[in-house]
């Protein structure tokens, strides 16, 4: 069964192909994804690597956690499921008259 790993501390210049090649030293890599900021189009400095088996994932953690890659120290561990978070920022749709409550009602 495939195991997804969180990889933090990536250089902003790291490519998905470079990440995949690096982790292939530990075994077969199914996917390597770097998370990109929607606004700037730049890497957020972390990503996910999916290894083919749990054994390969554990080997990758042992090999790469705390090690330097492209000038940065990596954090590698098992990825946790994404948790629901409240939305922040953006526009909120509100009804009414923009907060003005004075005057007569008809």
* Averaged pLDDT of the chain: 87
pTM of the model: 0.76
**Length of the chain in terms of residues written:** 106
Query: pLDDT tens digits for 41-70?
Result: 999 999 999 999 999 999 999 999 999 999
Query: pLDDT tens digits for 17-50?
Result: 999 999 999 999 999 999 999 999 999 999 999 9
Whether 31 is covered by a domain: the verdict is: yes
CATH of the domain at 14: 3.30.70.330
In three state form, how does the secondary structure of 63-103 look? HHCCCEECCEECEEEECCCCCCCCCCCCCCCCCCCCCCCCC
Whether 58 is covered by a domain: the verdict is: yes
Domain span including residue 7: 3-78
Domain count, the chain: 1
Decide if pLDDT at 4 tops 80: yes
Helix, strand, coil percentages (3-state) for the chain, rounded to 5, are: 20, 30, 55
């Amino acid at each position: 069964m495939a195991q997804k790993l969180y990889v933090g501390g990536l250089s902003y210049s790291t490519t998905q192909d470079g990440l995949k090649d690096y982790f292939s030293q530990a075994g077969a890599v199914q996917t390597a994804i770097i998370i990109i900021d929607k606004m700037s189009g730049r890497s957020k400095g972390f990503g996910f690597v999916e290894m083919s088996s749990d054994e390969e994932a554990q080997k990758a953690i042992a090999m790469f956690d705390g090690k330097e890659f492209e000038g940065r120290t990596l954090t590698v561990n098992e990825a946790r499921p994404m948790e629901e978070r409240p939305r922040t920022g953006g526009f909120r749709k509100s009804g009414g008259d923009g907060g003005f409550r004075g005057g007569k009602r008809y």
